[in-house]
Amino acid sequence: MTKIKVGDTYSLEVNYSQKDVDAFAEITQDKNPIHIDAEYAAKTPFEKPIIHGFLSGAVFSRIFGTIFPGEGTIYMYQDMAFLAPTFVDNTYIAKVEVVEVNEEKHRGVVKCTLEDNQGKILISGTAKLMHKEKF
């Protein structure tokens, strides 16, 4: 099995529909109209509904738990700065880069970004992961 090392990267295209946003609003009970009411959102600086920040950032959980490192990952820590809004029906690119590995403790620190298709960073953060075989 190949170990993950500093400098390793992974990226994934992602997009969300209004149906996804509505489902997230139901699950979390965050029914702020900025996310689910187009008429309300039209009167805001965004001019249309925006995706919940934590729904946009959930792509990192998807990556870590299922792909990179994958099954068996323990998600220990995540910070995220929400730098710009995300909108439904747009394609975004989630990028992760390993910046630190502690082989003794089987842990890695991973830089996380969500970018639009022009390369603008919308979410920036860092995660700490544990995986007994991959780190």
Residues whose CB falls within 8 Å of the CB of residue 37, separated by 6 or more in sequence, listed in order: 49
Which residue type sits at 66? T
Residues whose CB falls within 8 Å of the CB of residue 43, separated by 6 or more in sequence, listed in order: none
Alpha-carbon gap, residue 116 to 123, rounded angstroms: 10
Closest CA to 60 of 132, 135, 128: 128
Average pLDDT, the chain: 97
Q: Class for domain 9-130, per CATH? A: alpha beta
Give this prediction's pTM.
Answer: 0.92
Please report, for the chain, the start and end positions of each structural domain, with discontinuous segments joined by +. 9-130
Percent of the chain with pLDDT over 70: 100
What is the per-residue pLDDT for 85? 97
Q: Per-residue pLDDT averaged across 11-34, rounded?
A: 97
Which residue is it, tokens 């996804």?
A: 20
Confidence of residue 2 (pLDDT cuts 50, 70, 90): confident
| Whether residue 1 has pLDDT greater than 80 | no
28-81 pLDDT, tens digit each: 999 999 999 999 999 999 999 999 999 999 999 999 999 999 999 999 999 999
